[in-house]
């Protein structure tokens, strides 16, 4: 249950956004036309890999389920696998 609480707490504040590695990167790298091209996906994930707030970003995305883009180093499809596990943990 501690992981569930940690995710909710990390997602509760948006201060992390001011420290994001993507704040000066073109948004189309993270929100390319659907379906996201492999180049854009890899470029976005490379930026996320250098980001100090990747855990906060991923927690936000898991709890809020944005429908597009790379958040916290994961695509929408990848996040939804994690989100499903998180929701199942909440329900148990």
Give SS3 for 74: strand
Q: What residues pair up with 70 in beta bridges, in sequence order? A: none
The Cα angle at residue 78 between residues 45 and 13, in degrees rounded to 5: 75
Residues 6+ apart with CB under 8 A from 82: 58, 62, 74
* Contact residue for ligand SF4 among 11, 41, 62, 73 (CB under 6 A): 73
Binding mask 14-53 for ligand SF4 (x = CB under 6 A): ------xxx-------x----------------xx--x-x
Task: Indicate the residue among 21 and 82 with the shorter CB distance to ligand SF4.
Answer: 21
Q: Write out the residues near ligand SF4 by the rule CB under 6 A.
A: 20-22, 30, 47-48, 51, 53-54, 57, 70-73
């Amino acid at each position: 249950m501690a992981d569930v609480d940690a995710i909710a707490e990390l997602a509760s504040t948006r201060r992390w956004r001011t420290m994001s590695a993507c704040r000066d990167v073109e948004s189309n790298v993270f929100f390319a036309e659907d379906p996201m091209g492999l180049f854009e996906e890899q470029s976005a994930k490379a930026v996320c890999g250098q980001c100090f707030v990747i855990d906060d970003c991923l927690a936000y995305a898991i709890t809020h389920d944005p429908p597009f883009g790379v958040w916290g180093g994961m695509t929408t499809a990848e996040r939804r696998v994690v989100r499903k596990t998180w929701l199942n943990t909440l329900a148990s």
